Structure 1
Amino acid sequence: MKRKILEAVNFIVKNNLVKGTWGNVSLKYGELIYITPSGVPYNVLKEEDVSVVKIDGTHVSGLKPSSELPTHLEIYNSREDVNAIVHTHPVFSTTVSLITSYIPPLVEDAVMILGPKINVAEYALPGTNKLAQNVVRALGNNHAVILKNHGLITVGSDLNEALTASLVCEKTAEIFLYALNIGNFNVINDKDASILRNKYLNSYRQIRKDVR
């Protein structure tokens, strides 16, 4: 689990989803949460540094957990299907958070993987229970939520799904900003968006897992 955390942070750095020590990644395994520690540069992070906490937040081992632990715990406690969380600060998703309350259903892959509409959670100070509550409310049953004036959180049944969701959301945010700049644009209607989402959850997603 700790090795997977290291692989994930290397991934988000390589794909320009974070800068410096910002962002965090966690994995749930049984009643334990493995999460990146607070303030440690990713290029020097070691397996033994990864923080391990119980689902109630009790620290078990490793360094002090990320300050965003309350949000991770709130998501895990509200979504039984989630076993991985990725929190990043990508440019386009964060820009979207400044100008709107959601990204409408624009492109098929985003609708399928992320949800029909990508909501922007109301602002609250980082690391607070209020932020955690806002995030869970805006996330709903989706796999991505944008944090106002802050960044992006994606979730998945595993790290691969959560990381893929991060890339897809950032691409979708970029498309959305281009579309806003151009002017009028088309959206996928609610009926078709629901069909696409259900196809991913009940068909494509299962196939993807079977061929891992």
Structure 2
Amino acid sequence: MSAGTVPENLKARVKESYDAIADSYASRFTQADDPVRLRYIRHLIEQFKASEQSEVNVLELGCGSGIPATKFMLDNDKPAFSVVGNDISTTQLNLARSNLAGFEDRVTLVETDMLSLDYPNSIFDAVTGFYSIIHLPREEQTQLMRKIFAWLKPGGFFLANFGVDEMTTHEIQNWLAHEKGWMFWSGWGKEGSLKMVEDVGMNLVLTEVREEVGDMTFLWILAQKSS
């Protein structure tokens, strides 16, 4: 662990690491029945069911291999989901293409750093980010949150998780015991992350702190843009 400056080649290193550890990451963290991710996706789905919305257009930031979140949304029929899945890792997106075979008409996969995404205003019903936004330097998380707010339609939802501890940088050299598993995290902490979401104009619908695999603790946020 280290607390210092953000590496200049951060995005390239994160991509290289996830390309190398994709299989190890999937086997440890992305089971199809993952109770945590699916718990919050169900909360999101219930919001749309309550409004009787029949079709939902989602941007998933850091979709990884497409399991479990992307596939779970695509498997849902009421409402019917279409998903733009974004990831920085070529290998992760190749896994997603295999895991999401049969849904090609309702899923689009985009390989790039999430902060570089550019969409018109008010285009998505929801934007999600599971264990992904936390890989951005926290100043970039704030920039991204402003973009997310603009991309959401009035009444749209944001669902994501953040670290509960404030940290400028947190690096691990051999994550998942992999020689190419260098990884980076950053965050504003619980109160700072909640403030970041509210400051762009989002209304908090649900906030929970949960201890998860490996004694890691995350803040989960479901928020809504005013109609």
Q: Please, what TM-score do these two structures have when normalized by structure 2? A: 0.30
Structure showing the higher strand proportion among its residues: 2
Question: What TM-score do the two structures reach when normalised by structure 1?
Answer: 0.32
